[in-house]
């Protein structure tokens, strides 16, 4: 595996780890999540890590895996950063309940693009 492919694999592993962490942290009902500021901060941090790692995955790997919502993951991170950590509780809860497992499944099937292949 080339250095670029190795870096992509590491980033994908990081994203999957953080998605699993979010799922584990949010085994509570919505009311608990909305009241627990520490839990909100943990989830926000994990989402920022996910978005940052997604932004560093090579364009080749992103293009080889168009079903992964790369742009949305990065944009969510950017929204968190530029809104000074303001977490949209409703959107975050809905993402976890509706979309998280599908994003995990898609990421688990990602093919790492080799540097010598376009």
Residue 14 CA to residue 12 CA, distance in Å, equals 5
The predicted structure's pLDDT at residue 3: 78
Total domains in the fold of the chain: 1
The predicted structure's pLDDT at residue 2: 76
Domain-located, residue 55: yes
Residue 42 CA to residue 48 CA, distance in Å, equals 10
The predicted structure's pLDDT at residue 22: 96
Domain range for residue 52? 3-108
pTM of the model: 0.86
Q: Is the pLDDT score of 84 beyond 70?
A: no
Pure H helices in 26-88: 30-35, 37-56, 59-64, 70-82
The predicted structure's pLDDT at residue 111: 83
Q: Higher-confidence residue: 26 or 117?
A: 26
Domain-located, residue 117: no
Q: Is the pLDDT score of 33 beyond 50?
A: yes
The predicted structure's pLDDT at residue 112: 83
Domain-located, residue 116: no
Average confidence (pLDDT) over 62-81: 93
Q: Is the pLDDT score of 54 beyond 80?
A: yes
Of 33, 41, 50, 48, the closest CA to residue 104 belongs to 50
CA 89 from chain centre, in angstroms, equals 16
Domain-located, residue 43: yes
Average confidence (pLDDT) over 51-66: 96
pLDDT per position as a tens digit, 15-27: 999 999 999 999 9
If you search the block for the tokens 């809905």, which residue do you land on? 94
Domain-located, residue 74: yes
The predicted structure's pLDDT at residue 20: 95
């Amino acid at each position: 595996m080339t250095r670029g492919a190795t870096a992509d694999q590491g980033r994908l592993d990081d994203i999957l780890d953080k998605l699993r962490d979010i799922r584990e942290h949010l085994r509570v009902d919505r009311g608990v999540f909305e009241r627990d500021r520490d839990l909100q901060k943990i989830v926000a941090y994990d989402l920022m890590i996910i978005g940052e790692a997604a932004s560093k995955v090579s364009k080749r790997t992103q293009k080889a895996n168009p079903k992964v919502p790369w742009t949305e993951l990065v944009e969510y991170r950017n929204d968190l950063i530029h809104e000074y950590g303001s977490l949209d509780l409703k959107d975050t809860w809905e993402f976890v309940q509706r979309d998280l497992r599908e994003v995990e499944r898609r990421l688990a099937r990602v093919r790492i693009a080799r540097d010598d292949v376009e």
